[in-house]
Structure 1
Amino acid sequence: MTTLSDRPGTALLVIDVQRGVLEDAFNRDAVIANIAALVERARFEQVPVVWVQHSDEENLPLHSPQWEYVAELPQADGEPVVHKKYGDAFEATDLEERLAERRVGRLVVTGASSDACIRSTIHGAFTRGYDVTLVSDAHTTGDLSKWGAPSPELVVAHTNLYWDYTSAPGRTAGTAPTAGVSFAAG
């Protein structure tokens, strides 16, 4: 039900599943396994897989080992990689163009970090007119509790909770576990 005209397609968005981001992430191995299963299914169903890769000078310098995607998630030839420097994967990137050329109006979102780039991107997509499904067991975050944040499992749970209750005219938001994800429109 996207508000974007002539955009019936769905894409799987894999955000920042990079070595430096997932080093100490909550439920790391299970999240990566769920993302891998979704990538395999998307490829089988000929659903575009779009990879998002963050860089910054301090923690994720370009081409550093920390900047690389985790080894468990190899990218296939022809799958677009969107390089970003901000939380919202749409900001100052070519993500919108990559999705438009594939006629995508619905995103299935996975990756890291739940309380930063995931939140920024799902909100950015939703306000731009996309339908957005967050895969409830395929996103994660690190432990920032020593700086006053809730524990990682609570961050993930809260992100899932509020995204299930997000609404706006002409768009849909919600979550689904990996096993319940459908790449079909609507």
Structure 2
Amino acid sequence: MTTLEGRPATALLVIDMQHDVVVAAHDRDGVIARIAAMVKRARKAGAPVIWVQHSDAGMPEGSEGWRYVPELTMKAGEPVIHKRYGDAFEGTGLEAELANAAVGHLVVCGAQTDMCIRSTIHGAFTRGYDVTLVGDSHTTEDLTELGAPPMADVIAHTNLYWESQRAPGRTAAVVPAAAVFAS
């Protein structure tokens, strides 16, 4: 269980499902559909849904590419964390939002597997959170020209090593979307 005392809640953290981030992502439509279903189940279960939205010089805040894909709808009152670094905790109010909601367990999905997803799951884990990665609901773009493995291999490798992640007092897991907030 989390090393954060008095934090029994679980939140769904949706990372960077923005136009420019997922325009050419692996299994884009499938990942979006699974995330939309999890968001619906989380809301029904009363679990916090927290949206993370990246901006930088190539994707300025307010631009069309910066906007979330239209298939994923943020509900009024749900926190939106604006970030400029890979780890959603760095330089943001994410920790305060999670503390206010008594969250000690994060269920993480979104994009981009080899950048913001990895940075955030590691950042959460080292900060004391239990972290569940939704294995079929994170995605990446093709970076093979830069020497990266094929997209499916990046996703599979991330799932493989996260299943084996261990630290005192915390848990790491990989589950399919269908198991998240399932009745």
Please tell me the TM-score bracket, short chain as reference: over 0.9
**TM value normalised by structure 1:** 0.97
| 1:29 counterpart letter in structure 2 | D
CA distance in 2, matches of 1:155, 1:28: 15
Any conservation in 1 of the 2:21–2:111 contact (CA below 8 Å)?
yes
Is residue 2:32 matched to residue 1:32? yes
Gaps of 5+ in 2: none
Q: CA deviation at 1:183?
A: 7.5
CA distance in 2, matches of 1:119, 1:72: 24
Q: Which residue of 1 aligns with 2:55?
A: 55
CA distance in 1, matches of 2:131, 2:182: 11
**TM value normalised by structure 2:** 0.98
1:91-102 correspondence to structure 2 within 5 Å: 91-102=90-101
3-state SS, counterpart of residue 5 of structure 1: coil
Q: CA deviation at 1:181?
A: 2.1
Q: CA deviation at 1:100?
A: 0.2
3-state SS, counterpart of residue 107 of structure 1: strand
3-state SS, counterpart of residue 99 of structure 2: helix
Q: CA deviation at 1:182?
A: 4.1
3-state SS, counterpart of residue 175 of structure 1: strand
CA distance in 2, matches of 1:179, 1:68: 26
**Number of residue pairs matched?**
183
Q: Percent identity?
A: 62
Aligned CA-pair RMSD: 1.0
Any conservation in 2 of the 1:47–1:183 contact (CA below 8 Å)?
no
Q: CA deviation at 1:174?
A: 1.1
CA distance in 1, matches of 2:77, 2:112: 25
Gaps of 5+ in 1: none
Any conservation in 2 of the 1:10–1:183 contact (CA below 8 Å)?
no
Q: Which runs of 4+ in 1 moved over 6 A?
A: none
Any conservation in 1 of the 2:38–2:181 contact (CA below 8 Å)?
no
Q: Which residue of 2 aligns with 1:161?
A: 160
3-state SS, counterpart of residue 141 of structure 2: coil
Q: CA deviation at 1:103?
A: 0.2
